Amino acid sequence: MAENQELKPLVVTSVSEMQRIASELRRAGKRIGLVPTMGALHLGHMSLAVAAKEDADVVIVSDFVNPTQFAPGEDYDKYPRTLDADVTLLQQIEVDYVFAPQPSEMYPDGFNAKVHIGGVTELLEGEFRPTHFDGVATVVLKLFNMTQADVAFFGQKDYQQTLVIRKLVRDLNLPIEIVVCPIIRERDGLALSSRNQYLSSTERQEALVLNKALEKAEELIRSGERDAPVVIDAMRAIIATAPSAVVDYAYIGDPESLVELSRIAGDVVVLLAVRVGKTRLIDNRIIRR
Ligand code: PAF
């Protein structure tokens, strides 16, 4: 186990080694914090790792591009894989372990388990990416088991994913605490995402319509608009100003259940999925009253 700070983070690529380390840490009474990522780390991920450092005795960042959450034709092959750069970033905040297993060890021949969470997975991302959340729930459960984490950190940017993870934990009585950290944005409002690097400079500029649309939604709701379709039309009008943007959904729902709302009476979450050129971006804003 890496006690020497110069060795941090220790990169663990084998599942059995990760399990051995996790068992040792638990025996030593350490509180283990996990930050599940697919790598290509940016400041959004770093904010999760910093939150984990503040909360846990030992922090593990998993760095694994999970094939089962991509459908055929999605960006699995071109998804950026930048393990060395990720480790260098994590060195700066002295994360303890980076867990970077091989797909062949995560999913060996004959692997055929699948975790399916119902309800909240069936709309929005679930409609556009029908196999996505099974892949997420399955890999996240495996990562929880392999690292024996006490607490795991997720970003609000993947809002529906956070609800799926909470449901996974609740329905399967997993002994783990879930912490959701705020969205980190560029100065001009673009939510950080590993997929932003697919955008050309024109598309990068056009992608600002997502946050602008969310700002407009908040402004309308705060100034008393209660009719959700009116707010959604205003958001769509802003997005339509970007020639290469196509809306997959613009949605106002209950923040816990995601049930669609036509009247805005209490807290809401506003969710967007927009394709900008070939890049699909998601963003959201919780508006509390
Ligand atoms: O949010 C992500 O990066 C992924 O969905 C996760 C949670 C690491 C599972 O692969």
Q: 117-157, pLDDT tens digit by residue?
A: 999 999 999 999 999 999 999 999 999 999 999 999 999 99
Looking at ligand 1, which atom is closest to the CA of residue 140? Answer: 9
Find the residues whose C-beta lies inside 6 A of ligand 1: 36-38, 66, 69, 136, 139-140, 158, 161
Looking at ligand 1, which atom is closest to the CA of residue 36? Answer: 8
- On the question of pLDDT at 2 being above 50, the answer is no
Q: 18-34, pLDDT tens digit by residue?
A: 999 999 999 999 999 99
- Catalytic sites, residue numbers: 45
Kindly report the pTM of this predicted structure. 0.97
Contact of 149 with 26, CB cutoff 8 Å: no
The predicted model gives 183-212 an average pLDDT of 98
Burial class of residue 78 in the structure, from the number of CB atoms within 10 Å of its CB (0-12 exposed, 13-18 middle, 19+ buried): exposed
159: its two tokens? 């809002």
- On the question of pLDDT at 283 being above 80, the answer is yes
| Sequential DSSP letters for 63-130 | E---GGGS-TTSSTTTS---HHHHHHHHHHTT-SEEE---HHHHS-TT--------STTSSTHHHHST
Looking at ligand 1, which atom is closest to the CA of residue 155? Answer: 1
Taking the centre of ligand 1 as the mean of its atom positions, its distance from the CA of residue 232, in whole angstroms, is 28
CA atoms within 13 A on the CB side of 158: 22
Taking the centre of ligand 1 as the mean of its atom positions, its distance from the CA of residue 224, in whole angstroms, is 36
Residue-level pLDDT at 289: 86
| Residue minimizing CA distance to atom 3 of ligand 1 | 37
| Residue minimizing CA distance to atom 8 of ligand 1 | 37
Taking the centre of ligand 1 as the mean of its atom positions, its distance from the CA of residue 132, in whole angstroms, is 10
Residue-level pLDDT at 3: 45
Which of 47, 64, 66 to mutate to test ligand 1, by most ligand atoms within 8 A of the CB atom? Answer: 66
Contact of 132 with 69, CB cutoff 8 Å: yes
Residue-level pLDDT at 7: 73
